[in-house]
Structure formats: C-alpha cells, structure tokens
Amino acid sequence: MSDHKAMLLNKNKVVLVTGCAKGGIGYEYCKAFAEQNCHVFASDISQRVDDMSELSSHNVETLELDVSSDESVESAVNTVISKYGRIDVLINNAGIGSPGPLAELSLDEIRKAYEINVLGQLRMVQQVVPHMASRRSGTIVNIGSVVGKVPTPWAGSYCTTKAAVHAISNTLRVELRPFGIDVVMVIAGAIRSNIGRNSVDKLKNCEWKLYKEFKDAIEERAWASQRSEKTTDAKVFARHVAKNVLRGRPPKQIVFGHMTCLFAFLSWSPLWVRDSFFAKRFSLNRKV
C-alpha cells in the first residue's frame, strides 16, 4: 500500500450502519456518509442484503448483520476491524415498529421490538466500544425518536423502546467520556421511510378484542408519520445527521424532522393537554 493511500485510509472515517435495507433511513445514512468520503459498511439481516446491492455504486460495502444475534454482531464487527483496523462511527439505526394497543398487543411482538430496538443497540455498543476505547476515539450514534419523549396511543411498545434508547444514550454519554468516545442521540421526527408500510403489514394479522372498534384508528396511527406532505425526506434527514456527526465535536443530541416542534411543545405541556390532543387525534375521546 502506498503512503498516500495509507494516509487516506487513516484520514477518512470508517462508518458502520445497521438496518440498511433499501427504502429505509439506514440506506440513506450510508449514502450520506459516503458523500463525506467515509468508508461505509451497510448492514442488515441476510434476507435484505440483496436490497443493498445498489449501494456499491456509492462505494459502500455490505455486510450481513443481525443485531439480535451475539454471533452475527461479533462477526460483522470483526470483519470491519480486520479490514480497516478500526470503527470510527457506529450508527445504531436498526429497528422495527410494533403497532397496537398495549393491553392486547402480543408480548412476543413486544419482546421482539425490545430485542432489536434496545438490546440490538446495546449488543453493537458492547462489541464496538472495546475497539474504540483502545484508540481513545470514536462516535456512537443511537437513533431515538420524538415518541421516546412523548409516547402516543397505538404505538406504546415502539415508544417505550425509544424511551429506553434515550436513557441508554444519556447514560453511555457519561460512562464513555473517560475513553474519548462521543455518544450522539438522534431524536427523529416524522421521516419518510418504509416503517409505515411495514407497520401496517403487521396489523393485517391482528384481531383485536377490546379494541376491534378502533381498528381504523390503529391503522391510521401506523401511517401517521408517513402520510403528511410535510414529512421530512429521508435523504435530507440523513445528510443533516451525517454532517453533524462528523463535526470535530459532535453534538450530544440531533433533533430534526417534521413534527419535532409539535412534540417539543407537547413535552412541556400539562398532561391533560397532551392527553386531550392524542385522544382527539386517535379517536380515543369516546366511550365504548
């Protein structure tokens, strides 16, 4: 390897992104970081690796990675380390929706959401941190959501996983400071992606008992972040995140996207205001 190429390899950030199937925000993160001359690894479960093939035209490498598997996470991280000797930035993006009323939603569905959205992020952190700590350098980016601060009806399972991500990020930010590792929490608003369609698909197999009269409202919540013309384009969102993460001193939080102002207002509002707003918005202001 020439000295010039070695210098470039050392200068350009090595970025590992989880949850990168086409049509999702992770896919756009990969392109956004590649535009900033980073060495990017896009990863997802084996069934979705083919969906990422077009990323090769952006000089993005692909990996099989299941964040719910210890072995898969270890293998993927070791692959990146063996090739570049480091991981400078971890984007903990992999996640799934789990729509439905908490009183009836299957506990198996809730466990799966926690396994991927919460424990999946921690699994990645625990594999990557020792490598970052040895170099006293690195950035971990955990993807949260406005609903992690202000939970909404019909999405309680997903909201609680994002609340957990926020708590984890706030803890890690302080715990990893002695090792020179930055932790950035992204609080995303309504971003256009496949999550709405995937959530609605899950509802097709659900037969509610107590909430059968609310079936349409539950489905509306699954689409809520996607149907507005003001929903933030995933490409715009990803570029904003990449630009801020790559700053010399990345911010502790990145709050961006449609509805972030509304949810900020709701977070400061009295609970009766919040409850009234969501009850009206999601058809819960009537007796059955």
Active-site residues, by number, are 158, 162
Angle between helices 107-117 and 119-135 (to 10 degrees): 10
**Sign of the dihedral defined by the CA atoms of residues 60, 62, 67, 72, in that order:** negative
Q: What is the DSSP letter of 13?
A: P
Q: Which of 225, 157, 241 is nearest to 191 (CA)?
A: 225
SS3 246: coil
Cα(135)–Cα(119) distance, integer angstroms: 25
Reported for 268-273, long-range contacts at CB under 8 A and 24+ positions apart, including other chains, are none
Counting every residue, how long is the chain?
A: 288
CA 7 to chain centre: 32
3-state DSSP call for residue 286? coil
The Cα 194–Cα 234 span in angstroms is: 10
